[in-house]
A and B are shown apart, each in its own frame.
Chain A
Amino acid sequence: MKKGKGFSTGYFFILPHYLLFLIFIAIPTLFTIYISFTNWDLFGSPTFVGLENYRLLLFEKGHTYNTYFWNGIKNTLIYVIISVPIGILVPLAFAGILNENPPGKRFMQAILYFPSLLSVSTVVICWSWLFRTDVGIINHALGIAVNWAGSQPAAWIAINILTIWWLVGGNMIIYLAGMADIPEELYESAEIDGASKWAQFVHITLPLIKAQIGVTLIFTIIGGYNVFGQTWMFNNGGPGESNKTILMYIRELAFGSGVSQSGIASTMAVVLGIIIIITSTVVSKLYYRGDK
């Protein structure tokens, strides 16, 4: 846009967004990066320690912060690796089925979307009761006595089941919207050529909602790295901290009981941020490889 009358009008419209971005994202991010080079208890003035926090976190083998960090990253990666494919494929499957306009489509769509309107605490409390070892309906129905919250891999399975139930609707709606835009003629001509429903889905639907899948893929990965509520509420990090994700460590160090260790918590947050940026960029490049 040329600088002129429209220029200030343009800024007028984007200003609220930029102000909110500045206040809630840019400034806190820059502040976190600064705090990551300090020791700070949230009250006194931060003590500058240079790269010491990064050294302890990444290279001082056996130090508690190093152990916390790598355990948190390991557990977060386990969650990302399990939850991202499920978080894409399950909603895609439901969208594919619903796109065929089966009877009761609207009702099913509402049922599947409903959980994403709930808060994480509501979801986890409900599922915790279902997964209870002693009085849970899941163990009762299956005739088993699995300790879902206190043993592995049961805890990861439970956490992923409740997460997919919670979030299936969000991605599904995006895929359905994308599918609705695909011209009907493409399917008609494919059908005339004798293409099966599966072939139509793979060769028409999927390529034409590639952009939507790409966006949800990146968002699901970012959401996966930021997992907190489910693991915190379901079993508070699990047996031997085997479900304790990096965000749980960050919260515990910065805002747990006792003196705040905001410096090291900020360092963890910065490194996590870098990992998310790298992963998203690599996945995005690989996903759109070959596209013009």
Chain B
Amino acid sequence: MKKLVLCIMAVLVLFVGCGKKNKEQDKSGAYVIEYWDALTGPDGPYMTKMVDAFNKEYAGKIQVKQQIIPNDDLYSKLAAAGNKEANKPDVILMDNTRIAQYAANGTLLDLTELINKAGIKGEDFIPDAWDATIVDGKNYAIPFDSYPFFLYYNKKILAEIGYTEADLKDTTMDKIVEMSQKAKDKGYIGMAVFDAWPWPEILMGFIKQKGLDIIDAKDDSKVNFQRPEFVEAFKQYVATADKGLTNDPSVDGVIPFNEGKALFKWDGIWATTSFMALKKDSGVEIGLAPLPRIGEKNKMYTGSHNLTAVKKEGNSPEKSEAIMEFMKYLSKNSGEFAAAGQVPANKTTWASETFKSMPFAFIADYTDSFFYAPKTQNFPIAGWGGLGKAATGYLNKTYPTIEEALKATEKEVNDQLEQLAKTKK
């Protein structure tokens, strides 16, 4: 029996030993900051470089431990940490679509006071990016970057069908269809698409141009996808597919576009770097233009990464200041992140050579067109879960008409929102 007790104790010690203590400082006296981000793509190394530079500059004072975790896993890991502060990070680079949810569930620290104390001013940032970090009048983040969705085009084909890049600076979707038709007449694909990820963000942009959000932040208990503005935006969005000007939507159109066989393609701004590499590798020259209009005013759906801090009751004021110092440093130096294919949210960095050398530097004139997700935790279900499925389902012919796609996915979203309303916050 004695052996049994000893054995249980040994195993328990082993497990207890696995637990972490929430130690603020390391042996050298530097404050240790656990930092999580989900930059698993080519932008990851740029962030790591910035963190390394910070650690070098702040040696002996602050040390940042970076963990790159795939997006969904990051939030599962955060949930799994439960109430154990030691298992939670100090800083998370959070997608703007998650801020409302994590502010509401008490994960995020209200940064209003720390931001004021650090002298960080909202007017230095893209206005809507800054606004996207404010929930119920409190600042929960410092915007780090923004990623609008663009229309990418093949420069050679564009010239071949008799247009110039200037024709795309402020154009309409009707014009895009017309150009796609001309490209098709010359034997090219007009618009390269694929149904697995058809960029519902473009559709959201068109809906916003019609004056609506896909979900109302003030009344987020249901969505109404069947409004005429949604149907009209959807029609414009799939116009090239409906007119047979795309590749087969169920087949990935990336390859023909990269091989220079298609005129247009939707994509996020991060794709710019891979298209720059494409020019170097195969000579295919790709340009980028703002989203075409279907309404009077251009609006482009824009996502963003934001520096958030996790609420930890045990943190000393010194640790909180160290956290803010790190976030301020990243924001101040975010001009370098433009090379990773993202627009730094801090406009003061736009004077950097790195930003100015990027093909999307013209975006500085378009920030009024940026809009961000409505500030409700129900946005992801409405956006990717609802509208995204409607777009995919229509393109792969699960739904025969636009109206049916919108009706079915509206019900899908509303059934879930009804249940979520019954969940305790």
The chain A residues found within 8 Å of chain B, CB to CB, are: 8-9, 11-12, 15-16, 19, 39-47, 49, 56, 63-65, 67, 132-135, 147, 149-151, 235-236, 239-241, 255-261, 263-264
Q: Of B105, B250, B255, B384, which contacts A43 at CB under 8 A?
A: B105
Q: Does B379 contact A258, Cβ atoms closer than 8 Å?
A: yes
Q: Of B97, B378, B393, which contacts A240 at CB under 8 A?
A: B393
> Taking A11-B4, A12-B7, A150-B250 as contacts, is the C-beta distance between A258 and B377 under 8 angstroms?
yes
Q: Does B398 contact A239, Cβ atoms closer than 8 Å?
A: yes
> Taking A9-B3, A11-B4, A261-B419 as contacts, is the C-beta distance between A256 and B11 under 8 angstroms?
no
Q: Does A41 contact B423, Cβ atoms closer than 8 Å?
A: yes
Q: Does A257 contact B411, Cβ atoms closer than 8 Å?
A: no
Q: Does B378 contact A150, Cβ atoms closer than 8 Å?
A: no
Question: A residues within 8 A CB of B397?
Answer: 239-240
Q: Is B106 an interface residue (CB 8 A)?
A: yes
Which of B248, B393, B423 gathers most chain A CB within 10 Å? B423
Sample 18 A-B pairs with CB under 8 A, ordered by A number.
A12-B7, A19-B11, A43-B105, A47-B423, A63-B415, A64-B411, A150-B250, A151-B250, A235-B196, A240-B397, A255-B72, A255-B75, A257-B381, A257-B385, A258-B101, A258-B380, A258-B381, A259-B420
> Taking A39-B422, A49-B422, A260-B79 as contacts, is the C-beta distance between A150 and B251 under 8 angstroms?
yes
Main secondary structure of the interface of B (DSSP, over half): helix
When chains A and B are docked, how far (Å) is the Cα of A65 from the Cα of B4? 47
The chain B residues found within 8 Å of chain A, CB to CB, are: 1-4, 7-8, 11, 71-72, 75-76, 79, 97, 101, 105-107, 195-196, 248, 250-252, 255-256, 377-381, 384-385, 393, 396-398, 411-412, 415-416, 419-420, 422-425
Instruction: Give the shortest distance, in Å, between A273 (CB) and chain B (any CB).
Output: 20
When chains A and B are docked, how far (Å) is the Cα of A235 from the Cα of B194? 12
Q: Does A44 contact B105, Cβ atoms closer than 8 Å?
A: yes
> Taking A15-B8, A256-B385 as contacts, is the C-beta distance between A133 and B424 under 8 angstroms?
no
The 3 residue pairs across chains A and B that have the minimum distance between CB atoms: A150-B250, A258-B380, A64-B415
Question: B residues within 8 A CB of A256?
Answer: 72, 380, 385
Besides A43-B79, A240-B398, 20 other CB < 8 A contacts? A39-B423, A40-B423, A41-B423, A44-B424, A47-B424, A64-B416, A133-B251, A134-B252, A134-B255, A147-B251, A239-B195, A241-B398, A256-B380, A257-B72, A257-B97, A257-B381, A259-B101, A259-B380, A260-B79, A263-B419
Instruction: Give the shortest distance, in Å, between A144 (CB) and chain B (any CB).
Output: 14
Q: Does A150 contact B106, Cβ atoms closer than 8 Å?
A: no
Question: B residues within 8 A CB of A236?
Answer: 196
